[in-house]
Structure 1
Amino acid sequence: MSSTLAAGSHTSQRRIAFATIIGTTIEWYDFFIYATSAGLVFAQLFFQPAGKEIALLLSFATVGISFLFRPLGAFLAGHFGDVIGRRAMLVATLVLMGVATTLIGVLPTFAQIGIAAPILLLLLRILQGLSAGGEWGGAVLMAVEHAPANRRGRAGSWPQLGVPLGFLLASGVTALMTGLIAPGEAYLQWGWRIPFLLSIVLIVVGFIIRRSVEESPVFAEIAERGQQTKVPIITLFQRHWYLVVLAALVFVGNGTLGYMTTGGFLNNYAISQQNLDTTSVLVAATVAAVVWFFSTLLAGYLADIIGRRNTFLIGFALQAAVVFPVFWLVSHAGLPGLYVALVLISTGLGLTYGPLASWYAEIFPASIRFSGVSITYAIGAVFGGAFAPMISQMLLDATGSTAAVSGYLLTATLLGAAATLCLRDRSGIPLGPDNEAEQASGATMFSPGKPPATLADAR
């Protein structure tokens, strides 16, 4: 494939950047609005008969259960993304997420329809999980496969920015509801539904934007030659299972700490354990999302300058340094301490999230790349983020101390760092179907293959 075809025009690059950022922002707004509500209202409205503590655990469990279905979403989207194209999967996953989120906004509570309420809530959360499992792979490949070799790091950070933006939007809308539009009991009665219902407007906008994007040039060339793999998932696990394991562990190191904030645990800890004002905590989370946004953007640029691997290692070092101080800050310094804790967490998260898309894209061969990045990301999310809030709550309940929670976060961070050291930096490797042999070898420090291309070569 020619570099011109792979890179596309500057206009196309801007359109791709806009489409991937907007699309993933909407997708993750939907996902995070649920996680935010899980810690604030779902325990009371859908699981209250179980008792206060069990209800909260059940509410956090529904956050995690959806992650168990993300691999299924990744399998389906990965298969069809490698067979029929990246763009079709982007549109399909966006619509699925929007429909599920909007329906949650009109769902009756336990007091209205009994046990059917939490069952229906869980089913809709599962649909969110299926969508989230398939969306990410398509978005990152559209961005990375359109980009010049020396700009893949920053191009890959575009869809990543949708995660902090989605969290920012979810936290901001919820803070607006609890603080101004429907404070107190009004939020429990009807205010919590508004952020879910807003999803229908966002989906229309996202659908129009994503439909306007051209297909990935890598897949376009594969399709033109008729070289699609019939069952890409089988090829992936037969030949590259070890890459799936290592790359998933890299994301475990990021996701476990990340879902302390996006999964609602830290917010709930600050509100219920430290008695901080709900709206003030949500505003702090919104500020943290802004920091996360800029650190993710910075990480994309750093990945093109010092490499994906080095950027990850810096981020994991920062994460390891903050996992114990963050709870002390919240406990001893109140709201200012929460701000500092969230800023520290968000900076480390950005550095270990921004380069993820470009690195994942560069370690899997073109013909199975959608399956590879989607399934790896989904598996990493299951073991890194799925039940992190629930596990942390159980550790806190069992020990009465946050030290066990911090130890859990540190273990996950060190696992991510160890997996990072096992993978090679592949910056600049050709991504097209003509280079499948090179793409299929040498991705780990233990496997044979030519040394990774330098950034100077990529230029």
Structure 2
Amino acid sequence: MSTSATAGRRSVLGSKDRVKTAVAAALGTSVENYDFIAYGTASALYFGAVFFPESDRFVGTLLSFATLAVGFVMRPLGGAVGGYFADKFGRKPVLVTAMIVMGTATFLIGLLPTFEQVGVLAPVLLVIIRMVQGLAFGAEWGGAITMAYEHAPWHRRGMFAAIPQSGNPLGIALASGVFAFSDTLEGSWQWRTPFLLSAVLVVVALIVRSRLSESPEFQEAQATGKTEKNPLLATLTGDWRGILRVIALRVVESFAYYSTATYLLNYITDRHPELRPVALGAITGASILAIAVTFLAGALTDRIGRRPIYIAACTMAILFAFPMYLLTNSARPALVVTVFIIGIGLIHASLTGTQGALLTEQFRTATRTSGASLGYQIAAAIGGFAPLLAAALVGAFGWPGAALLYLGAALIGLTGILLTRETWGRSERERVSRLVAEETAGRATSSTAASPPASLESR
């Protein structure tokens, strides 16, 4: 459909490419998360010894997690740049570019020389590539979610926005599964193999994403002159409250994952090395479960609203903060598996499944990618320090320090959602249901399908 035809006559049933777009976004998101999570796993298991061998074990772990955090620091910049270009020139170019940069950086990590080979140059190169990873990952998320959301049927946007979110645990499962396999290899192939194999995934995702059509909502905004000359500046001056809401809502999810899959993995394997295969397998299994839970959570928000699911997930995180370490400290394989199933498969997945639509709906079309990306990635930058902070707190106070860190993030998330207005309440659901019924029956006109409810278009 041409841009002119699109303007003012978007279908409430979504675009003809809605399913293909959501699946392509999910495929790309899974690759991006594979690349980023592979680094986190390698930081927990290998990089302390490979790139910082002259430090004692505890200091080496802290330095390894510090390089992990560097990537998160770069994510807000990536989100700002990617959001600006996506809101000004289109969502699709950003998705393709971010994928190329991320894939190249990840592949190069697998080729890096070690400290033993080139000395201090090794960690320097690692940090530089990690910064590039952070920029690319920061630019990717907003475009992927926005594309899926804006192509989707209005009454199924929670579900469609959850499809690319399901790519998060899929990427985690792939990375964990590959690390479980590479753990059986010899020497540096244990940590190099997962990074080198990412090239295959990147090529597949690029082929799929290059064939997507542009967002119909962006095309309409462009055709009607409703885009912003400087989307980033407009977001910072006019939508700053939405950015703060997104940060509060996102912090709990970021901490919930990295405190569990990255720090807890290190905590377990450091104290009970024999449990490393169990922990890696548990993360893989929990991530597979999370794919389904993420999708179901998003679909459920279309029926009952976004807030109830998020409130429930934050409450679960609060109640789980101390039990996750009490169960882990038992060193019983079954309980270790249970911790990862609950932490990743249920709590984290429920949060991510709701976020796709909830965070996107805090902003209008013209600043949607900029606002959602910037808030999301600022919170991610904070959450990226979770393993480092947890390790430092455990060193000072024992495991209760890490539990309190997790609890604090969960309380921030609960406060954030309680202060956030419902974006998909009963009135919105009823109005859109009427429009869907009219269009399905062939009675839709340009006036009935011209725009979504005001609560979904602006904050």
Question: Which deviations, in whole Å up to 9, do the C-alpha atoms of 1:197-253 show, x marking residues without a partner?
Answer: 111111111110001111010111122234321111111111121211122111101
**Contact kept? 2:278, 2:337, Cα under 8 Å:** no
Instruction: Give the 3 Å change call, closer, same or farther, for CA 42–333 of structure 1 in structure 2.
Output: closer
**Equivalent pair of 1:32/1:170 in contact (CA under 8 Å):** yes
% identity of equivalent residues:
35
Residue 363 of structure 1 and its aligned partner are, at CA, apart by 1.5
Deviation, structure 1 residue 274: 2.9
Instruction: Give the TM-score taking structure 1 as reference length.
Output: 0.90
Matches within 5 A, 1:330-345: 330-345=328-343
Q: Give the structure 1 partner of residue 171 of structure 2.
A: 166
The reply on whether 1:7 has 2:14 as its aligned counterpart is yes
| Alpha-carbon distance in structure 2 between the residues aligned to 1:438 and 1:324 | 38
* Equivalent in the alignment of 2:35: 30
Aligned to 2:417: 420
Label 1:237 to 1:439 Cα distance change in 2 as closer, same or farther (>3 A). Answer: farther
Give TM-score scaled by structure 2 length: 0.90
Alignment of structure 1 residues 13-162 onto 2, 5 Å: 13-162=18-167
Does structure 2 retain, via aligned residues, the 8 Å contact 1:144–1:358? yes
CA RMSD, 1 decimal: 1.8
Alignment of 1:297-316 (within 5 A): 297-316=295-314
Uncovered stretches (5+) of structure 1, i.e. residues with no partner: 444-459
Moved over 6 A (4+): none
Query: Which position in structure 1 is the counterpart of 2:445?
Result: none
What is the deviation of 1:278? 2.2
Q: Spell out the pairing of 1:155-194 with structure 2 (5 A cutoff).
A: 155-179=160-184, 182=185, 186=186, 188-194=187-193
The Cα shift of 1:87 comes to 0.4
Q: Name the residue aligned to 2:442.
A: none
- Taking the aligned partners of 2:267 and 2:137, their CA distance within structure 1 comes to 26
Q: Does residue 271 in structure 1 map to residue 276 in structure 2?
A: no
Q: For each residue in 1:127-178, what CA deviation from the matched residue of structure 2 results, as whole angstroms up to 9, or x when unmatched? A: 1100110100000011011111110111010111111011100000000111
d(CA) in 2 for partners of 1:343, 1:60: 23
How far residue 436 of structure 1 moved from its aligned partner, in angstroms, is 10
Kept after mapping to 2: 8 A contact 1:365/1:436: no
- Distance in 1 between the 2:102 and 2:204 partners? 14
Aligned residue type for 1:408:
L
Residue among 277, 282, 285 paired with 1:284: 282
Residue matched to 1:381: 380
Question: How many aligned residue pairs are there?
Answer: 430
Amino acid at match of 2:412: L
Amino acid of the structure 1 residue aligned with 2:405: Y
Whether the 8 Å contact between 1:31 and 1:128 is mirrored in structure 2 is yes
Residue identity in the other structure for 1:348? I
Q: More deviation in 239-248 or 87-96? A: 239-248
Conserved? CA contact 2:182–2:189, under 8 Å: no
**Correspondences of 1:309-328 after superposition (within 5 Å):** 309-328=307-326
SS in structure 1 opposite 2:329?
Answer: helix
**What residue is the counterpart of 2:407 in the other structure?**
410
Letter in 1 for 2:90: G
The offset of 1:66, in angstroms, is 0.7
Contact 1:252 1:412 in 2 (8 A): yes
Query: Letter of the aligned partner of 2:9 in structure 1?
Result: S
* Gap change, CA 1:275 and 1:376, over 3 Å in 2: same
Q: What code does the residue aligned with 2:91 have?
A: R
Map of 1:200 onto structure 2: 199
Q: Does the C-alpha gap of structure 1 residues 6 and 195 become closer, same or farther in structure 2, counting only changes over 3 Å?
A: same
The answer for the alignment partner of 1:295 in structure 2 is 293
Which residue of structure 2 lines up, in the alignment, with residue 390 of structure 1?
388
CA distance in 2, matches of 1:144, 1:120: 37
Unaligned runs of 5+ in 2: 1-7, 433-448
Residue 441 of structure 2 aligns with which residue?
none
- Alpha-carbon deviation of 1:438? 5.6
Letter in 2 for 1:36: T
Which shows bigger deviation, 98-107 or 264-273?
264-273
Q: Is the 8 A contact 1:221 1:433 kept in 2?
A: no
Q: 1:260, CA displacement in angstroms?
A: 1.7
- Residue type matched to 1:146 in 2? H
Counterpart code for 1:413: A
- Looking at structure 1, the residues matched to 177 and 14 of structure 2 have their Cα atoms a distance apart, in angstroms, of 36
* Structure 2 letter corresponding to 1:402: W
Once residues 323 and 48 of structure 1 are traced to their aligned partners in structure 2, the CA distance between those partners, rounded to angstroms, is 33
Secondary structure of 2:54's counterpart equals helix
Give distance in 1, aligned partners of 2:373 and 2:188. 38
Corresponding letter in the other structure for 1:156 = A
